[in-house]
Amino acid sequence: MSRLFLGLIFLGGVLFSSAVQAKVRVVATIGPLALLVRDVGGDRVEVDTLLPPGASVHLWEMRPRDLFKIKEADLVLAVGCGVDGWLRYRGEKLFSVCEALGKKGSNPHVWISFELVKDTAERLVFRLSEIDPEGKSYFMKRAEGFVKKLNLMKERYAPLFNGMCVVSHHGAWDYLFGELGVVFLGALEPAPHKEPGPGKLLELVNRLSRCNCRVVVSEFGHNRRMAEVVAKESGACMAVLYPLGKGEEESFAEFLRENIEELAKCRATCIR
């Protein structure tokens, strides 16, 4: 075998290896953020998620292998504002979505929103392009397509929720409810995993009872007992939503759509 041929094989291997290594390595704290950065980054990113499907974002603790993933990453994508406070990294690779959007001190569930996520996608283009300048136009094109898809979704679904009143497990859905025209009456939990008192339950039941389209939103991973009580006493439909996704979604749009369509099922039970 000639030296020239061997050299070409070696060069080809080096080029292939470089192409693989050129991917931006991203670690996301939760599944929806991982979906978002994949939607924007496409084939030029490699994404790992720290929080496993079904785990509580409030109770999770990092594992030693998570620290290794962060060390090897080019970008660490976190919610911030205390949601993923278990993230033991505050270095220059960190992109905290909540802080970047100026929502510190407000509702930190910034990934459950059309508008805030579109803003985040545009900011991700900038961060990814800093790491991979050659991919800038690619990231921009994908972000533009992503924003258009979310705009179409919002336009399609918003008319379905006119006049719907909702009590939710906690305030994770405030942004999305506002964007869809849902009237948010209050949350069952005054704080994560803290049950409400009898007075609070009665207040929420009374508020719901004054609406024609009544819905109680429970969440996967939470005790549904209080939500079931309020739904029964007020005659409301109950929807179970997944604020962190199911772990099976292929895109961020799918994550949002599955939750919205679950909520929309209650529309059929509303009093006309």
Q: What does the mean pLDDT of the chain come to?
A: 90
Q: What is the mean pLDDT of residues 141-170?
A: 95
pLDDT (0 to 100) of residue 223: 83
Q: Assign 56 a pLDDT band (cuts: 50, 70, 90).
A: confident
The answer to which of 57-61, 97-101, 183-187 has the lowest mean pLDDT is 57-61
Residue 34 has pLDDT above 50, yes or no: yes
More confident residue, 105 or 265: 265
Residue 194 has pLDDT above 80, yes or no: no
pLDDT (0 to 100) of residue 269: 79
| Spatial distance between the Cα atoms of 22 and 218, rounded to a whole number of angstroms | 42
| Spatial distance between the Cα atoms of 10 and 12, rounded to a whole number of angstroms | 5
pTM over 0.85: yes
pLDDT in tens, 103-127: 988 899 999 999 999 999 999 999 9
Q: Which residues contact 96 (CB under 8 A, 6 or more apart)?
A: 78, 79, 80, 81
Residue 19 has pLDDT above 50, yes or no: no
Q: Assign 135 a pLDDT band (cuts: 50, 70, 90).
A: very high
pLDDT (0 to 100) of residue 6: 47
Residue 190 has pLDDT above 80, yes or no: no
Residue 130 has pLDDT above 80, yes or no: yes
Domains and CATH numbers, the chain: 19-155 (3.40.50.1980), 162-269 (3.40.50.1980)
| Spatial distance between the Cα atoms of 253 and 114, rounded to a whole number of angstroms | 10
Count the Cβ atoms, other than its own, within 10 Å of residue 32: 23
Taken in order 190, 193, 199, 205, the sign of the CA dihedral is positive
pLDDT in tens, 238-261: 999 999 999 999 999 999 999 999
